[in-house]
Amino acid sequence: MILKVDFVSETPIYEQLKNQVVEGIAYGLLKEGEQLPSVRQMAVDIGINMHTVGKAYSILRNEGYLIIHKRSGVIVNNLSKIKDRSFLKKIPSLMKPIVTEAYCKGITEEEFLDKCKDIFQSILKGKK
């Protein structure tokens, strides 16, 4: 999978990495059991501090997306193990800034939900 890192983006680099790995797993660009580069190798390839990559990887590990072995390296976790229904509880607080911003900008509820649906559909389309 090709990752893009933007050095002048408002989104911190570790978050860019984290988001893209999650996206990659959702869209099936990263398969379960697939190996990712080591912290050092990824930091070398991007040309950034190793802590930045380490931070992204440790968040992804804590959230169940990755398994980090000392020996076999960084591996995408089983999709069944990534599943975690309790995430539903976090959604309101995660979505609130986006929904309120959309409201202020004059986006209707229907339009907003349509956009959400489009994203869900594009993920599901890739699966079949």
CA distance linking residue 98 with residue 54, whole number of Å: 28
Q: Is 77 in the site for other proteins (CB under 8 A)?
A: no
Q: How many residues bind to other proteins according to rule CB under 8 A?
A: 25
Q: Is 8 in the site for other proteins (CB under 8 A)?
A: yes
Rounded to an integer, what is the distance from CA 6 to the centroid of its chain?
Answer: 15
Residue closer to other proteins (CB basis): 9 or 78: 9
| Residue 66: CB minimum distance to other proteins, A | 12
Token pair of 93 as six digits: 């607080």
DSSP letter assigned to residue 48: S
β-strand 35-36 against 73-76: which pairing, if any? antiparallel
Q: Which amino acid is at 104?
A: C
Q: Is 49 in the site for other proteins (CB under 8 A)?
A: yes
Token pair of 73 as six digits: 């390296």
Residue of the chain from 25, 42, 56, 66 that contacts other proteins (CB under 8 A): 42
* Span from 6-14, 58-66, 84-92, 96-104 in contact with other proteins (CB under 8 A): 6-14
Residue environment code for 105-114, b if the CB has 16+ CB neighbours within 10 A, otherwise e: eeeeeeeeee
* Span from 7-15, 63-71, 90-98, 111-119 in contact with other proteins (CB under 8 A): 7-15
Residue of the chain from 35, 100, 108, 122 that contacts other proteins (CB under 8 A): 35
Q: Which of residues 89-108 bind other proteins (CB under 8 A)?
A: none
